[in-house]
Chains A and B, each alone.
Chain A
Amino acid sequence: MPDQLKLHNLQVQYGDVVAIRDVSLSLQTGDIGCLLGPSGCGKTSLLRAIAGFEVITAGTIAIKDKLIASDMINIPAEHRNIGMVFQDFALFPHLTVEHNVAFGLRHLTAAEQRDRIQEMLALVGLPDVGTKFPHEISGGQQQRVALARALAPKPQLLLLDEPFSGLDEAQRTSLASEIRLLLKAQHVTALLVTHDQHEAFEMADHIALMNEGQVVQAGTGESLYQSPASPFAAKFIGEGSLTKVISSADGPPGVLQQLLNGANQLTTSIEYHVLLRPEHLVYDPSGVPLTIIQRHYRGSHYLYELSLDDGQILRCATELTIECDRGEPLPVRLTEKDLIVFR
């Protein structure tokens, strides 16, 4: 089966600035992919290049083995049959919801259009808002209408540009999982752009982590979290601290060495970094005492920020019964033996 979307050595350049460098990715039919990265990493440029709003300077974009962009070909956006949900939804303010959804359905007869509109609005759970104007419905509803509009012409690929950033926290999570179910049920191939890892985990089958115009690591959410391939991935995903370790044979072992004692470090370097996530540390009265510099109440647990003797900070989650104040020591122990180490 051909890939629904295939990017090969893609490059996008604005003048002298290279926004996308050498990106190769592919997405199987029915899969949901995600471009994750900090702002300015080029993920939106990449999405817009696929949609046809940016001209690529090298490489190829193909949909079902058909080339839609290369250094020679540039099929205009309106002929790519790629749907897009915009960050600001971009609903046409002067058209009703129905007419917004109908905008991409010109090739259908009036009756077919009506059916398709009804079908799409029912799909996104808004069968009754058809005659309203965009400004008369809520932000979450606008988001669904934008989705219905993009899906109505049955695109070969759906692009979502930070689709939840305009919504509040509560809407965000519920809508993300709801939309994932919907896209899966419709066998839609989709590519999402976000800077929010939780959104990426919630929505996507595959995540491509981007930094400075390049894909630095691609894989499932689990693999990105559990085996980050670079210090950047380790720092960007999860709440871990990349902690610097200086091992020396002489002198008494520092607090960190005591803590790491027994971990499977497998390194002969004098100086290296180790990734310590909050779940790697547990409270243990007989553990290594670390000074508390901040305590965050998280409802179900406390998150303590702990200071090493050289000023580096570690995080540790505890039950609410373990209640210590700033400046007091909190004894902790390492639970994970297989730590991620960067030299």
Chain B
Amino acid sequence: MAWRVGLVLTALTVALPVLVIGSSLLAPYSPTWTHILDTVLVGYLINSLALMLGVGTGTLLLGVVTAWLCATCEFTGRKLLSWGLLLPMALPAYIIAYTYTGLLDFSGPVQSSLRGWFNWSYGDYFFPEIRSLGGAICMLSLVLYPYIYLIARVAFTNQSGAALEAARSLGVGRWRTFFRVALPMARPAIVAGLSLALMETLADYGTVDYFGVSTFTTGIFRTWYGLGELRTAAQLAGFLLLFVFVLMAIERASRNRMQFHATATRSAIQRITLRGTHAALATGFCVLIVTLGFLLPAMQLLSWASISWRTAVDSQFLYLLWNSLSLALFASFICLVLALFFGYGKRRYPGATQTGAVRIASMGYAVPGTVIAVGVLIPFGTLDNQLDTLSQTLFGVSTGLLLSGTLVALVFAYVVRFLSVSLQTVESGLSRIKPSLDEAARSLGSSNKRALREIHLPLLRGSLLTALLLVFVDVLKELPTTLILRPFNFNTLAVRTFELASDERLADAALPALAIVIIGLLPVILLMRNLDRGPSSHA
């Protein structure tokens, strides 16, 4: 009973920001809202939809093609490339966006070289503007396609070779088999990956703001910072939330269908060995994507950093590093503790309430950081005001803002957003410890405590470290939440990168950006290892 109450209360606390935003849709709408509705809302809507459509198409194209090539074909460099295709995950979209801006804008190396070679000058030629909706779609597609690649690759790999052979024995050719059997069988997985990519698209603030594309997230920022209208910002966030819920529903449904589509007996797929032009095309396509999505921007960052590091590595940078790392570590630790609490609660006292609590607590993964930040500001502000009034009437002392604008609010927001990441990892770790292991330990005279120490801890260690690492990196990369909730003058790597880039000090931004990318590579390496070991291996 105590567990159940604890689980439900914690889950509700974690869900509070989302509930606040959701309920703000029902609150009265201020005149500002009418103004927004008349002027910019349609623009936000169109831009957000166009962005989703574009990124959806882009990630599908890149993700499905690479996944299928790597899962079912054999070509030069396949092994290396199937790892390399994950690398873009290490790049936050706002970093790749400003890197490409540096590369492609008027004074950048590409246009300068073109002008040099052809003796053009300004206005002589057409060059696509990177800072546009199209540019944002390209940038986001380049770093978000791995969501689809990852899950679709597993789906294609696990597809029963027999089903594909059955199709071919029924007289369907290799390429038609792909469209008529392989693709439909992988569709739930692809849709699940796509909805994740689209959730990230909706959550993006850095890229669209930098490129001057007005979407819901930038709108929320403008309403809050420009107009100082927190209620209206919350209502905008509420509309964004509606989009997110649709995506969540789609993702959930697809995941259920995935279980349905998983065939019990599988025979390994016979890889198609590509030759000649086909092989060259396959290799070339994958190399191109890895280059555009990771190698090129990483090299550009390195070259900028090599210019600026002498001046940039100073006490302020170290302070920045310390801020980011300690904050990320602290938040990931809290997430881990809560994840263990939920995980064990659900394991030891299974029931609908507990499962529901876990589900509510892990809603945050889909909700944009901007939305969560606004959802944290409102209840914390109310709480602060009440504390202040209380303290003034009781002691005659004003407490000011105790919670909002402090690290407490920021860490809370991180927990709301990233708890599901650690929860998933911990739950999958726990699910591998069969209940019979606990019983075996007890039938051999071991207490629960000893079983926890000698059976669970060693078996869970990997999962716990993974959970820590994943949240750590996510917090480190998170931009909009930090921007809104950070205490005055408190800076992190992500915020500093974004600020410097927004001030067009691209070279100076390279060092903190590079730090984020390097740390962001850690979970990618982890993913690569897991992908190769497969799901069944142990110890």
Contacts and interface: CB of A to CB of B under 8 A. Distances in A.
A179 B445 CA distance: 23
B269 interface: no
A103 interface: yes
A104 interface: yes
Interface string B434-452: 1011011111111100000
Sorted nearest first, the 8 A-B pairs with minimum C-beta distance are A104-B444, A90-B436, A90-B440, A84-B443, A77-B442, A86-B436, A78-B442, A94-B458
9 contacts: A52-B442, A78-B446, A86-B440, A88-B434, A92-B437, A92-B440, A94-B455, A104-B444, A135-B538
User: Interface centre among B444, B447, B454, by most A CB within 10 Å?
Assistant: B444
A298 interface: no
B434 A94 contact: no
Nearest to A86: B436
Contact of B439 (A84, A91, A103, A135): A84
A135 B539 contact: yes
A229 to B, nearest CB: 34
A150 to B, nearest CB: 7
A93 B538 contact: yes
A47 B444 CA distance: 16
B459 interface: yes
Nearest to A87: B436
A92 B455 contact: yes
A153 B445 contact: yes
A153 B440 contact: no
A232 interface: no
Given A53-B439, A135-B538, A78 B434 contact: no
Given A86-B436, A88-B434, A93-B459, A104 B442 contact: no
A82 to B, nearest CB: 6
Contacts of A92: 437, 440-441, 455
A87 B459 CA distance: 20
A79 interface: yes
Contact of A82 (B440, B441, B443, B446): B443
Given A78-B444, A80-B443, A87-B436, 18 more contacts: A51-B439, A51-B443, A76-B442, A77-B442, A78-B446, A86-B436, A86-B439, A90-B434, A90-B436, A90-B437, A91-B440, A92-B437, A94-B458, A94-B459, A94-B539, A149-B440, A149-B444, A153-B445
Contacts, number: 67
Contacts of A228: none
A217 interface: no
Contact of A106 (B434, B445, B538): B445
If over half of B's interface residues share one DSSP class (helix, strand or loop), that class is named, otherwise mixed; here it is helix
Contact of B539 (A82, A86, A93): A93
Contacts of B442: 52-53, 76-78
Given A94-B458, A94-B459, A103-B444, A77 B539 contact: no
A93 B429 CA distance: 13
User: Interface centre among A52, A93, A104, A150, by most B CB within 10 Å?
Assistant: A93
Nearest to B437: A90
A342 interface: no
User: Interface centre among B436, B440, B459, by most A CB within 10 Å?
Assistant: B440
A190 to B, nearest CB: 14
Contacts of B447: 78
Interface string A61-103: 0000000000000001111111110111011111000000001
Interface string A285-314: 000000000000000000000000000000
A272 interface: no
A153 B444 contact: yes
A201 interface: no
Contact of A150 (B443, B454, B539): B443
A133 B539 contact: yes
B538 to A, nearest CB: 5
A90 B447 CA distance: 17
A84 B438 CA distance: 12
Interface in B450-472: 454-455, 458-459
Interface of A: 51-53, 76-84, 86-88, 90-94, 103-104, 106, 133, 135, 149-150, 153, 159
Contacts of A79: 445
A283 to B, nearest CB: 41
Contact of A77 (B436, B443, B454): B443
A111 B443 CA distance: 23
B459 to A, nearest CB: 6
Nearest to B451: A78
Contacts of A78: 442-447
Contact of A84 (B440, B454, B459, B538): B440
Contacts of B441: 92, 103
Interface string B308-336: 00000000000000000000000000000
B538 A77 contact: no
B457 to A, nearest CB: 10
A112 to B, nearest CB: 15
B534 to A, nearest CB: 13
Contacts of A82: 443
A103 B446 contact: yes
User: Interface centre among B437, B441, B442, by most A CB within 10 Å?
Assistant: B442
A86 B435 CA distance: 11
B533 to A, nearest CB: 13
A81 B539 CA distance: 29
B157 to A, nearest CB: 22
Nearest to B457: A94
Contacts of A104: 444-446
Contacts of B444: 78, 83, 103-104, 149-150, 153
A149 B454 CA distance: 16
B443 A83 contact: yes
A92 B443 CA distance: 13
A80 B443 CA distance: 8
B396 to A, nearest CB: 57
A153 B446 CA distance: 12
Contacts of A80: 443
A104 B436 CA distance: 15
Contacts of A133: 539
Interface string B76-106: 0000000000000000000000000000000
A83 B443 CA distance: 6
Nearest to B459: A94
Contacts of A76: 442
A213 B482 CA distance: 60
Nearest to A77: B442
Nearest to A82: B443
A93 B456 CA distance: 11
Nearest to A152: B444
B224 to A, nearest CB: 50
A327 B445 CA distance: 62
A77 B434 CA distance: 17
A107 B445 CA distance: 10
Nearest to A158: B443
A215 to B, nearest CB: 23
Interface in B246-265: none
A308 B437 CA distance: 52
Contacts of A103: 441, 444, 446, 454
Nearest to B444: A104
Contacts of A149: 440, 444
Nearest to A76: B442
Contacts of B446: 78, 103-104, 106
A11 to B, nearest CB: 21
Interface in B420-444: 434, 436-437, 439-444
Nearest to B537: A135
Nearest to A159: B443
B440 to A, nearest CB: 4
